[in-house]
Each structure stands twice: as structure tokens, then as C-alpha cells.
Structure 1
Amino acid sequence: MLFSELILAIMKPVNRQRTISSPYHLIKGKKSGQTIQDIGYFGLYPYFGVLPKLDKKAYDHVVQSLFSQGYLRANEQVIELTEKALNANVADSPLNGWKYRGNENLFFNRLSLIVQTLSHVSQSVKTFDPIVNNEDIQIWVKNYLQQIHFRDLAIVQAFKKELITTLTDSNISETHKLIITERLTGFGLSGLTWQQMATSKKLTVLDVQLMMAEALHGWMAEIEKSKSPLLLGLMEGVIQQSSLTATAQRTEKLFERGFSLEQIASLRQLKTSTIEDHVVELAMNDPYFNFQSFMSQELYKAIISESRRQQSKRLRDIKEHLPDASYFQIRLALSIKEENQ
């Protein structure tokens, strides 16, 4: 998937319902209430946080190219796609952003330093400049290497075999596999820069960085599936164990103890609107969420009916026709899983 294809994949479900900058916040992994809700509203889980360091100017440049290519119409308020964009196919992708939330970079940094270390050990070279300068990662890798007895050449060969086997078996293209290997540094061999890779493949740097995320997500899925013991150890803390953000988890515990939204806001020293964001997130992820303490069944049905009539999840448009409903109630109703509808 190219970066421009990623933007269109996000824009298609939110067409005429969100601003032109909303895909940027999603790709960056912004944990605002609006972005988290949009993931659930529009099924955008795969794309969340896939490029945490995305530069806004670089994003804007690609958006402008979509305008010039006839994929977008000028609209100061919302995204407005042309027929050309709506008819364009969305490329299949192994992206699983909500599961990893940028932590694929932690996995790869650990891997890079381990590969560099093992390649030098196998050549009996004891000193080298580490490719990763982060002290926490260096400490983690040092502990990991000691646990697997890394000076044993049989372990080095076993690690190499796991790496090659899982990468070969992963459901990603040969180009994706090449991108991973070209970034690795070993004895007498330096990994390529993003610019070098982009130039050699006639792609942009953003394209290559996105394909790297795709490659890592696809590869890590294979590592999980095959339960490769040495590589699986590198994924400690990488996979998100909860579908909720950490702050929503803390609100959930208090909510389950019977505290009201106002009480939770006071206890956590947060705005009530922030706690409402958390409740919407809870509803988005819980198929059995009971919403009836926040609105009647009749109001819930009215909101869903109006959303379907308009074929829109834009809050302002729904509220115009249901003035008695609060924005929180509308957001909550739209977040309820279909099992409760």
C-alpha cells in the first residue's frame, strides 16, 4: 500500500463527515476522543498509529497531490471525494495498527540490535557501535541475550533460522521482506537509510516507511502463529493486551464500582467530557455494554434511525433533527455494537 492509498482508504468511510486533517490524526495515533471514536464508527482499526512520526507538512503535500489528481473536491469543512476516488480499489494490507499501536518499532529496534550483536559474535568481534542508542532498549537486549546464551553458536544459528523461516512464511510481498532485511545492520554491512531505499525502489520515503509498518505487522502475525520461541520473546510488551486505551481502562474500573461520571471525573481530576469519551470507548469495545443508564431505548433507536436516514455519523447533522439528544448521547448511541441494536 502506498501512502496516498492509505489516505484514500481512511477517507472513503468518512467522506463528507470528517475534516481533511482527520486521517492525519488517525495515522499518527492521536488518542483523542474523536479519533478513538472514529476508529469504531468507521472500522478504521488497521490504520491507527501506523506512522507515529508523520510530519504534517508531508501529509499536506500528499493531500494536495490527491486534489491535483482529481480524487478530492475543494470543501473547507469536510472531506469530499470525487467519483474517481470512490471507485478506486483499496489495496489489501496486513496493517493491524490498533493491535500494535506503533510498537512494531520497538520490536524492530530490539531485533536490529540483536542481529547486529549476533553477527559480530559469530565473527568473534567483541566491540562495535550499537545501531540503537536508546538505553532502555540496550538494557532489554542485554538481558534477552544473556537469557538465550547468545555466545553459543548453535543459538546464533537457531535465531537466524527462525528469522528466515518466519519471514519467508509471512503473508507479505517480496518487496516488503526486502525492506525489512535492507534496514538491518550486521558485521561489515550497514542498513540502508529511508532515502536510499526510496530512491532504489522509485518510491517516496513515506511509501517505504508505510510498507515497513505493513511488513512488520505481517511478519509479527506469522511469529505469533508459528510460536517461534526466540523471536516471540522480542514481542514482550509489543502487543496491546486490551482493546481500550490505558486511561479508559482506569475509568472502566471506577465505572464498574458504581461511580457516576461526575464522581469519576472528580476522582481522576479530569473533565466530565473526558470521562464521557472513555464511556464511548467502552461502548465501542464491549458488545454487551448497557447504555440505558445514559439514555432511553426510544432515544437510542431515534438516533440510530436518524443516522441511517442521513447515511451519516456527523453529530451536528443528527442533532439538528434530534435537539433533545445531547452530543454525548449521540456519540454513545453510534458507538454501540450491532449486537445491541
Structure 2
Amino acid sequence: MPFLKEAIFEKRLLDLEKKGYVRIDESGVFLLKEQSETSYFKSPDWKGFSMQDLPHHFFNHLLLAVQVVSNKHHKKSQYLPIVRNKEAQIWVKRWFSKWQNDAHLAEKLFLELNQWLESPSILYQDVYVGRFSGGDRVGETALQICERLQISIWDGYFEWLRGLHVLHLRSNEFPLLQELMISKVALLTKSGFATYDLFQKGHSLEQIVNIRQLKKSTIEDHFVEIQATFQELAVPFRPNEEVLLKLKEKSFLSLKEMKEFMPDLSYFELRLAAVSGVEI
């Protein structure tokens, strides 16, 4: 995943190993204990893998947009941005420049937020509204909200995330909020995007290796990243639908098990299958 840092990923794996859930050796990571799947991931609205960080970027934009619009309404011109991320600030500044002369902007934003948050799929409105700042109000932290609602931080987080997934899936119903959403292309790493751009221009994997003067394995990593981000896209060497269906009929604990089941496929092809919906 482009936004998952290697050090954090390795720490999480070591934590799981200490608790006896996985075994790690030179061959890979092996699941030792089957865990019951949380109800969050059974919802048809849950698109965690393909969504990646889209909801997180959007919510940063939303926090800033609410603050800017609210402070304009309250005629408050000096304040500290609730989100310190410079890219998010620049994004919302550009967005607001388009709308700043619209006298009904606050009302339009309120109506769309109300339509979204009043939908049956939203269990806790406060995990969103409680974070908003504007005027004399300073938003609470996620932890403060969960403590007030008397729910665990993880229950609060997954409800927050699921609601954002619902919003993204229904984005056409919310034209103003949709403007605060980023495209999936923005989720790619800088190097991954360079490979994606060449692929979109019609270059093959081998041509991209030559053009970019990188190892073939590095370009393969990029295509796995691209496939994970754009699951509807058929990248080079992605197994055909018949093979994918056969793989999806089984559940695998590792790429090694997939290789034993489909020995004719390369590890690159198996990795592409794994990010195309095959359970592993």
C-alpha cells in the first residue's frame, strides 16, 4: 500500500507474531490462528482495499472546508487551520476561491452534510460532526469523541471510515462534497505514477523498464501498486478471469500456497491476482 510505511508494517507484523497470530521466517508470513471477521468488513459498503487513503484525504479537506466556510459566516478572518498538512490547505484554498463569492455556500454545504449524515448507514454522526471547527468552536479529537460516546477507539474509527466509504460510493449525489475528494491517481507513489503514466500512453512493461532504466522487479512492483489502486484495470500479466475465479474459490495463507496451487503462474502474476480480490 503506497501510504503504509515499511517500518510501521514490520512493527505490526512483529506485534502479531508476539501474540501468536502469525509465524515469520525467511519463506514469509504464515497465519497461525484463524480470526473471526469483524462485521465492518462484511458490509457491501466496505471497500477498504480499493479505497486506500481516499477517505482520509477527503476528511482533511472537509475539516478545513467546514472551518473556512464557518469562519467566513462568522466574519472571523484570523485563525489557525485545524489541519496542518500544507497540501490539504492548498487544495481547500483553491476550492474555496471558486466558491467564496457564493452567498449560499454555507447553506449548500450544510444541506449536503445533513443529507449524508442523516442516512441510515451512519451510526454515529458525532464521529464526524464532533471533529468540525469554526467560529468559536474547536473540534474534539477522535479519542475524546469515542470516550464521550462510550465506544472503543476502533469501533469509532471503523464507523467513521465506513461512513466515508458510503459517501464515496454515492459521491454523485453530493456534488459539493465530491469536489473535496481526490482521484485515485493521487494515491500512487511518485515513481508508481511515472510507470502508470507510461502505461496509459501505451507502453509495455518491457518498454517501461527500458525507458525508466529501472530493474524489472521494480516496475513489477509498480504494476502491483497500480492494480491494487485501479482494480478495474487489466495490467500486463494479470491472470485472466478464468484463473482469477479458480483462485477466488480457495483461501490461501501465503503466495507460496498460491504457487503450489497454480505452479504455472509466476510470483508476479500471483501478486497481481492477490490484489485483484483473491483472498490471501
TM-score normalized by the length of structure 2: 0.69
Q: How does 1:50-89 map to 2 (within 5 A)?
A: 59=12, 63=16, 72=21, 75-76=23-24, 77-82=29-34, 85=35
**1:139 Cα deviation after fit:** 3.0
| Cα distance in structure 2, aligned partners of 1:272 and 1:172 | 44
Note the 1:25-64 alignment, pairs <5 A: 30-31=1-2, 59=12, 63=16
Whether 2:107 is the aligned partner of 1:144: answer no
Q: Extract unaligned runs of 5+ from structure 2.
A: none
1:266 match = 210
Aligned twin of 2:178: 232
* Secondary structure at the counterpart of residue 135 of structure 2: coil
Shift of 1:279: 5.7
Letter in 2 for 1:78: F
Q: Give the drift of 1:107.
A: 1.6
The 1:243–1:179 alpha-carbon spacing in structure 2 relative to 1, beyond 3 Å, is closer
In structure 2, the CA distance between the partners of 1:267 and 1:191, relative to structure 1 (3 Å rule), is same
SS, match of residue 234 in structure 1: coil
Aligned equivalent of 1:331:
270
The aligned residue for residue 316 of structure 1 is 256
**Letter of the aligned partner of 1:129 in structure 2?**
L
- Measure how far apart 1:249 and its partner are: 1.9
What pairs with 1:238-253 in structure 2 (closer than 5 Å)? Answer: 238-240=182-184, 246-250=193-197, 252-253=199-200
Give 1:111 shift.
1.6
Separation (CA, whole Å) in 2 of partners of 1:336 and 1:136? 28
Structural RMSD (CA)? 4.6
Q: How many Å separate the matches in 1 of 2:248 and 2:62? A: 47
Which of 100, 104, 111 is equivalent to 1:161?
Answer: 111
Q: CA deviation at 1:118?
A: 2.1
**In structure 2, distance between residues paired with 1:151 and 1:120:** 15
CA gap 1:195/1:253 in 2 versus in 1, 3 angstroms: closer
Q: Does 1:135 align with 2:135?
A: no
The alignment partner of 1:127 has SS state of coil
Q: 1:66 to 1:206 in 2, by over 3 A?
A: farther
Residue 121 of structure 1: aligned partner:
72
Structure 1 60/311 Cα, relative in aligned 2: closer, same or farther at 3 Å?
closer
* Corresponding residue pairs, total: 265
1:93-104 alignment, distance < 5 Å: 93=43, 94-104=45-55
Q: Give the distance between the partners of 1:118 and 1:309, measured in 2 at CA.
A: 50
Residue in structure 1 matched with residue 122 of structure 2 by the alignment: 173
SS of equivalent residue, structure 2 residue 184: coil
Q: Secondary structure at the match of 2:145?
A: helix
Residue 166 of structure 1 and its aligned partner are, at CA, apart by: 2.6
Higher helix share goes to which structure? 1
Post-superposition offset of 1:218: 1.6
Structure 1 190/53 Cα, relative in aligned 2: closer, same or farther at 3 Å?
farther
Question: C-alpha displacement at 1:184, in angstroms?
Answer: 0.9
Which residue in the other structure is 1:16 paired with?
A: none
What whole-Å deviation, never above 9, does each CA across 1:18-72 have from its counterpart, x for those lacking one?
xxxxxxxxxxxx24xxxxxxxxxxxxxxxxx6x88995698469848975xxxx5
Output the amino acid matched with 2:55: E
What amino acid sits opposite 1:168 in the alignment?
Answer: E
One-letter amino acid of the structure 2 residue matched with residue 232 of structure 1: Q
Shift of residue 182 of structure 1? 0.9
| Higher Rg of the two aligned structures | 1
Identity among equivalent positions (%) equals: 21
- Say whether the 8 Å CA contact 1:110–1:137 is kept in structure 2: yes
TM-score relative to the length of structure 1: 0.58
